[in-house]
């Protein structure tokens, strides 16, 4: 069984807070150094095969889309054995349920890949969320990087520690 999900890691300035008078109409903005270019988005598939586990990841260009999910599932389907049941569990994100994706389900099932969806509002049932928490909270606890290259290096080291494979 595999759990598919996506996560984003971004460069940030130090976290801060301020007080403003209520109703003053004054809005305080914190400028960002990197904007959307300071973000790395990953899609991952965490697989249980008996006692063995595997993490497959792919870096996304921009935000996650239905086309990227379908391309990722095409890659997973190519590794499936039609004689062996392979189930991918997805959450209910809109890009996991589009019409084009639903149209490809018979093709993937012919390859031995079946999709199942978690119940709504049940992220605690998605095992890959534990992997993302470990990645962000323990393996990459630093929240500010001086460049995207530093972020990518830290991400690479963390994913290596998890034994992740880029697909």
Burial (Cβ within 10 Å: 0-12, 13-18, ≥19) of residue 39: middle
39 to 8, 53, 129, 156, 161: CA distances (angstroms): 7, 27, 19, 14, 21
Model-level pTM?
Answer: 0.77
Encode burial over 83-92: b for 16+ CB neighbours within 10 A, e otherwise: eeebebbbbe
**Chain centre to alpha carbon of residue 138:** 17
pLDDT at 13: 44
Longest dimension (CA), the chain: 66
Could you tell me which CATH class the domain 2-166 is placed in?
alpha beta
Q: Are 101 and 113 in contact (CB under 8 A)?
A: no
pLDDT tens-digit readout, 6-51: 777 665 444 455 666 677 666 666 556 666 667 888 988 888 888 8
Q: Are 42 and 59 in contact (CB under 8 A)?
A: yes
Where is average pLDDT lowest: 9-18, 57-66, 108-117, 142-151? 9-18
């Amino acid at each position: 069984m595999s759990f598919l999900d996506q996560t984003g890691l971004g460069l940030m300035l130090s976290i801060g807070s301020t007080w403003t008078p209520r109703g003053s109409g004054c809005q305080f903005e914190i400028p960002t150094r990197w904007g959307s270019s300071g973000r790395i988005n990953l899609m991952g598939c965490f697989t249980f095969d008996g006692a063995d586990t595997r993490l497959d990841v792919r870096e996304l260009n921009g935000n996650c889309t239905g086309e990227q999910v379908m391309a990722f599932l095409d890659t997973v389907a190519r590794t499936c054995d039609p004689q062996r049941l392979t189930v991918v569990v997805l959450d209910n994100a809109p890009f996991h349920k589009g019409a084009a994706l639903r149209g490809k389900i018979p093709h993937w099932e012919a390859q031995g890949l079946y999709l199942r969806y978690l119940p709504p509002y049940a992220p605690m049932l998605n095992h890959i969320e534990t992997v993302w928490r470990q990645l962000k909270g323990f393996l990459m606890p630093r929240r500010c990087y001086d460049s995207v290259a530093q972020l990518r290096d830290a991400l690479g080291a963390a994913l290596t520690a998890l034994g992740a494979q880029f697909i």
